[in-house]
Chains A and B, each alone.
Chain A
Amino acid sequence: DIQMTQSPSSLSASVGDRVTITCQASQDISNYLNWYQQKPGKAPKLLIYDASNLETGVPSRFSGSGSGTDFTFTISSLQPEDIATYYCQQYDNLEVTFGPGTKVDIK
């Protein structure tokens, strides 16, 4: 089974700050890595697919990179509406696994 880790588990940053979250897979997953945003009480929302592709309608301050086992998600300028938990998710090898999540809030 493919295991996913994320760091940090939580972070607090100021409006306008650059925020970076990392996700690591336990084995090579190529670029089969997506990022989701979940606001409190809401369903998850797809932000980035296949490691670096921005989903239609998602603001350009969100970006992703990486391949193989190491991936990065970045918010270039944190906004108040970005308060949420962010999850990475892999879909390689006929299985789907979510990372444990990173909770982002405003300092």
Chain B
Amino acid sequence: EVQLVESGGVVVQPGGSLRLSCAASGFTFDDYAMHWVRQAPGKGLEWVSLISWDGGSTYYADSVKGRFTISRDNSKNSLYLQMNSLRAEDTALYYCAKGAWFGEFNPLDYWGQGTLVTVSS
């Protein structure tokens, strides 16, 4: 059974930093691209970032480019999101999600339950 479990969400002050983690199990982690998607309270889904199966390629939404860094450790079946220079508008539930097939851009077939990041003074 595929499982994605996010962690690391906390309350942080504007301008602060945070690293989110996603522990994956139930599939061959290094065969698939992985994504972060966020959802502000009461709002819709916003794609944040994608990393290729080997970490060699990364992509970001314009809203986080230059502030967030996605990475992965295939030896630990783990995905990460380093978030710097946090703003109030980064407040959201952050989901990690798995790409459906080998390759970079494809549907997101499994999602975690999310970890909540609140940026507030």
- Residue-wise interface mask of A (76-97) relative to B, using a CB-CB cutoff of 8 A (1 in contact, 0 not): 0000000001010101101111
Chain A proximity of B32: nearest CB distance (Å): 14
Which B residues have a C-beta under 8 Å from some C-beta of A?
A: 35, 37, 44-47, 50, 59, 62, 95, 100, 105-109, 111-114
Chain A residues near B113 (CB-CB < 8 A): 43
A94-B112 in contact (CB<8A): no
Measured CA separation A92–B109 after assembly (Å) = 17
User: Provided the pairs A43-B114, A44-B45, A87-B45 are in contact, do residues A1 and B62 lie with their beta carbons within 8 angstroms?
Assistant: yes
Chain A proximity of B33: nearest CB distance (Å): 11
A68 within 8 A of B: no
Measured CA separation A44–B109 after assembly (Å) = 9
Chain A residues near B111 (CB-CB < 8 A): 43-45
Chain A proximity of B36: nearest CB distance (Å): 11
Interface of B is mostly: strand
A63 within 8 A of B: no
B50-A101 in contact (CB<8A): no
- Residue-wise interface mask of A (25-36) relative to B, using a CB-CB cutoff of 8 A (1 in contact, 0 not): 000000010101
Chain B proximity of A39: nearest CB distance (Å): 12
Measured CA separation A44–B111 after assembly (Å) = 7
- CB-based nearest B residue for A43: B111
Chain B residues near A34 (CB-CB < 8 A): 107-108
A66 within 8 A of B: no
B100-A49 in contact (CB<8A): yes
Contact of A46 among B35, B45, B108 (CB under 8 A): B108
